Every structure is written in structure tokens, then in C-alpha cells.
Amino acid sequence: MDTVNIYRLSFISCLVMAIPCALAVEFNLNVLDKSMRDRIDISLLKEKGGIAPGEYFVSVAVNNNQISNGQKIDWKKNGDQTIPCINDLLVDKFGLKPEVRQSLPRLNQ
């Protein structure tokens, strides 16, 4: 067997072994209780960065400086996006200029 054939065989072997790594990861619903499977929408998990609407406790950092720990933030559906709704007390900690703060979008206006 010549060197070229060995390299081809090695290359093909590497490709075959790499195929499972390229496949998409799917959530296995069998890990959930049978009664819960029909009540859970996992479609958001398919999107990169998908966040389900709801309340979450998070740590907030601005420019790598933590300004809040264990802050409750409500995430609401806005069209096809889920956006964080930040209260005025947290916005005060951001140190925004007044004109920037005035330009922040507000829900339910």
C-alpha cells in the first residue's frame, strides 16, 4: 500500500468518525415525567440563545463589573423575540446618560 492510499484511508476514517459530532443535539423528552411531556414546549431550546418568557434570577454585570446579584428579571414575549424587562432601580445602577435612558424602549406604553 503506497503512502497516498494510506493518507486517503486516514482522511476518510477521520471524516467518518467526525460525523456524529456534526449531528444536531436534540432534547430527549423521555427524561421528563410522562405526565409533563405534553405540557412542556421545548421549541425555544432549538433557537440559539432562546429564552422562554418568565421570571429569572440573574446576576447583572456591565463592562465586567457586577452591579447586581440575584436580581429578578421578567422576560416577556415581544413579537418573535423574548426581551428582558428591567425595572428603574436596576437601570439607575447602569449609570446611563439621561438622553440614553430616555431612549430605552418601554413596554405597555
User: Residue 109's pLDDT is what?
Assistant: 47
- Domain locations in the chain as residue ranges: 3-103
DSSP state of 104: S
Query: Does position 61 have pLDDT exceeding 70, yes or no?
Result: yes
Looking at this protein, which amino acid is placed at residue 22? A
Q: Which fold has domain 3-103?
A: Ubiquitin-like (UB roll) (3.10.20)
Cell of 101: 435612558
Could you tell me which of 92, 96, 98 has the C-alpha nearest to residue 68? 92
Please determine, for residue 9, whether its predicted confidence score (pLDDT) is greater than 70: no
Query: Please, which residues have CB within 8 angstroms of residue 96's CB and are 6 or more apart in sequence?
Result: 104
For the CA atoms of 81, 55, 42, 61, the dihedral, rounded to the nearest 10 degrees, stands at 70
Query: What number is the average pLDDT over the span 7-22?
Result: 58
Q: Which three cell numbers stand for residue 94?
A: 447602569
